[in-house]
Structure 1
């Protein structure tokens, strides 16, 4: 099955089924936006203003059966905006774990549709989703 034969709506359904990662309002046929609020920075703040450490990932079609992903790590502020920042050492493992867990689920879904994904060139050879 080619990416052209898998409709945008079907991909939205498949990606939504992975879990609470897809931001459908920020996704289009030209790219899909996922994120994860992995670690709360301060639970003392009102829930609607809480800030988190985590990641966001953009998945873009590249050809008929392939997607390209690019992710960043950082801080989700109280205004609902991502900022690329170094993750504090005590939270690095949890943020990395959630990204890997998500990517395993995403890769499995893509594989079921005979699609695949690879890293954007700017991620280089050494990144959190590099094959072991």
Structure 2
């Protein structure tokens, strides 16, 4: 069973992570990797919904051991094709995006603590904001 963590199980941890809100993309997760994102701000609300793009962030959480994870954040635009593109975010929206990141991190910490899991980020929030 090398490379797999027994406590908590992937399904138990994923269940806990789903409870923090709409951030978790279950289809892009496995027992060693969890993918989260947030469509924080619409780029142009005048466009029809299927053509809208969003400023926001995404995060990859990788299990390093039973009790340690590493979080890597990215900023960019969620395009009309439904894909993230790393790019600078309009300065007018940076504080709103930072707020969603901070809210998410508080919820992530609360979801991981009961399982005895800590995480570190690979960069300071200010580096990608």
Q: TM-score, normalised by structure 2?
A: 0.90
CA distance in 2, matches of 1:129, 1:99: 11
Distance 1:111 1:61 in 2: 14
Does the 8 Å contact 1:33/1:56 carry over to 2?
yes
Residue 80 of structure 2: which of 78, 85, 98 is its match?
78
The answer for the alignment partner of 1:47 in structure 2 is: 49
Q: Which runs of 4+ in 1 moved over 2 A?
A: none
* Mapped partners of 1:92, 1:11: distance in 2: 30
TM-score (norm 1): 0.88
Q: In the alignment, does 2:100 pair up with 1:128?
A: no
CA RMSD of aligned residues (A): 1.5
Instruction: Quote the residue 1:59 is aligned against.
Output: 61
Q: CA deviation at 1:129?
A: 7.4
Flag structure 1 segments of 5+ consecutive residues without an equivalent.
Answer: none
Aligned residues: 123
- Residues 84-115 of structure 1, C-alpha deviations (whole Å, 9 max, x = no match): 11111100000111011101100111112111
Q: Residue by residue, what CA displacement relative to the aligned partner does 1:56-109 show, whole Å, maximum 9, x if unpaired? A: 000000112010000001111000110111111100000111011101100111
Q: Which residue of 1 aligns with 2:114?
A: 112
Match of 1:18, SS state, is coil
Q: Give the match's secondary structure for 2:112.
A: helix
